[in-house]
Structure 1
Amino acid sequence: MSDMPAVPRSEGLRWLYLHGFASGPDSTKGVAVSRHFGARGVEVARLNLRVPTMEGLRLSAMLETVREAMGGEKERAVLLGSSLGGLVAAHTAAADARVSGLVLLAPAFQVVRQLRRRMGEAAWRLWEKQGWIETDDFAEKRKVRVHSGFIGDAEAVDGKFGGWPDVRVPTLVIHGRADDTCDIRYSRQWAEGKRNVKLVEVEDGHELVASLPRILAEAEEFLRPWGV
């Protein structure tokens, strides 16, 4: 923590939780985070990033939703993001000086590359050709067809800085070594050599549910300078 940049204390600091792909504001991690910090007098708003719709999901629309939720120019925010929400949080921090700190849970760095690897070339080409791909909607417990426009939009957004958001604020990254959705090596690569980034590796998969007590303890300690 001694290597971290100084954290300016701010009245009216906004705390926002950003869920992942095919998830929602009422995810297990989001609810656990808001309850934990709520018991300590900190209100964490859980944003809905299923925008503009789940079927028409766009990374650029997620970024705009977060920017609007941060309020006016003089507001400051702490962003806590999971998976794709972690990537959104990092990109927001790289572009918006109102973000003063980040907690990223299994962030989806290099999202298009990771999606393509996980899906396989045949499924990837099918997604591009037919214009949609069916996937699980974990928030609404149903199947959903996500439009292929997500690909080009994500490539345009994530292509900035070569797909590595240039974050300068204090950042805590927690990632599972057994994550088969968002490979931990990308978090390692992004965090390497950054004095403002603390990477905590846990023995867990992508969902990180088994690591929730550790996540909450690490996040609380890390965010103490912000008034927790």
Structure 2
Amino acid sequence: MSTPPPVPAPTGPRWLYLHGFASGPDSKKGVEVARHYASQGIHVERLNLRVPSLEELRVSAMLETVRKALGGPEERAVLFGSSLGGLTAARMAEQDARVCALVLLAPAFRVVEQLRRRMGDAGWEHWKKVGWIETDDFAEKRKVRIHSGFIPDAEAVDAKSGGWPDVRVPTLIIHGRADDTCDVRYSRQWAEGRRHVHLVEVDDGHELTASLPRILSESEAFLRPWGAGS
């Protein structure tokens, strides 16, 4: 009986894109990032993090989806994460040594705290009391009701390491100074004193659509050790 040929070792890290809250794998930034790196022979897998559904969204389920996409125990991964996907990417890097580099776009650090600040105390208590809050589903262009179970789940995930992800891998953050969804001050606070974190501030809002060329050029320079720009 012939011996099967050995499985070749991965030639480079997996590249994964993690979209944000009420977005999806076909978001403009995700598609543009994937298209840019495809021209260099790098496949960027755009994950669907609307799990178990957008209505029943849970950060813990998002983390499990990313974990399953990282591959085998010997593989490595570069993670792009936008907004809530940025927080998920950072928490994944904290938990799993297969993550070797991060590019975070307007990451939703301390997401529960930021949500409550934006909604105000009355809106926050209404969400908890009624059991859902209506918001825009940007991927499917409809209104959707997000269940309040999102809150305790996100609180449990984000309570670890003092509320801030304990990330030890090289990290690039690109954040807009005019972001009224995820305040840039949280990225500044997290990046301060972390020599492996590079924060780039741009004159843009939360969506960062005007900053796409900057995102591509900055990420390409940053990710050159992992095969970008070749």
- Measured against the shorter chain, the TM-score band is over 0.9
The residue number in structure 1 matching 2:52 is 52
The residue number in structure 2 matching 1:38 is 38
Q: CA deviation at 1:163?
A: 1.3
Deviation sequence 1:175-216 (CA, Å, 0-9, x none): 000000000000000000101000000000000000000010
Identity within the alignment, %: 76
CA distance in 2, matches of 1:158, 1:204: 26
Q: Does 1:89 align with 2:89?
A: yes
The residue number in structure 1 matching 2:202 is 202
- SS at 1:123's partner residue? helix
| Structure 2 unmatched ranges of 5 or more | 1-9
Q: CA deviation at 1:11?
A: 1.9
- SS at 1:120's partner residue? helix
The residue number in structure 2 matching 1:98 is 98
The residue number in structure 2 matching 1:13 is 13
CA distance in 2, matches of 1:188, 1:212: 21
In 1, are the aligned partners of 2:24 and 2:49 still within 8 Å (CA)? yes
CA distance in 2, matches of 1:131, 1:25: 27
Higher normalized contact order (CA 8 Å, seq sep 6+, divided by chain length): 1
CA distance in 2, matches of 1:119, 1:51: 23
CA distance in 1, matches of 2:24, 2:152: 23
Q: Which amino acid aligns with 1:39?
A: S
Q: CA deviation at 1:12?
A: 3.9
Q: CA deviation at 1:119?
A: 1.1
Number of matched pairs: 219
In 1, are the aligned partners of 2:12 and 2:226 still within 8 Å (CA)? no
| Structure 1 unmatched ranges of 5 or more | 1-9
- SS at 1:200's partner residue? strand
Q: Does 1:74 align with 2:38?
A: no
In 1, are the aligned partners of 2:12 and 2:227 still within 8 Å (CA)? no
Q: CA deviation at 1:103?
A: 0.1
The residue number in structure 2 matching 1:110 is 110
Following TM superposition, the consecutive aligned residue runs of length 4 or more in structure 1 with deviations greater than 2 angstroms are none
CA distance in 1, matches of 2:12, 2:219: 20
The residue number in structure 2 matching 1:63 is 63
Deviation sequence 1:2-35 (CA, Å, 0-9, x none): xxxxxxxx62410000000000000000000000
Structure whose CA Rg is larger: 2
Q: CA deviation at 1:69?
A: 0.4
In 1, are the aligned partners of 2:78 and 2:101 still within 8 Å (CA)? yes
- C-alpha RMSD of matched pairs (Å): 0.7
The residue number in structure 2 matching 1:6 is none
Deviation sequence 1:140-162 (CA, Å, 0-9, x none): 00000000000000000000011
Q: Does 1:27 align with 2:34?
A: no
Q: CA deviation at 1:68?
A: 0.1
The residue number in structure 1 matching 2:160 is 160
The residue number in structure 2 matching 1:4 is none
TM-score by length of 1: 0.95
The residue number in structure 1 matching 2:5 is none
Q: CA deviation at 1:121?
A: 1.2
CA distance in 1, matches of 2:182, 2:81: 14
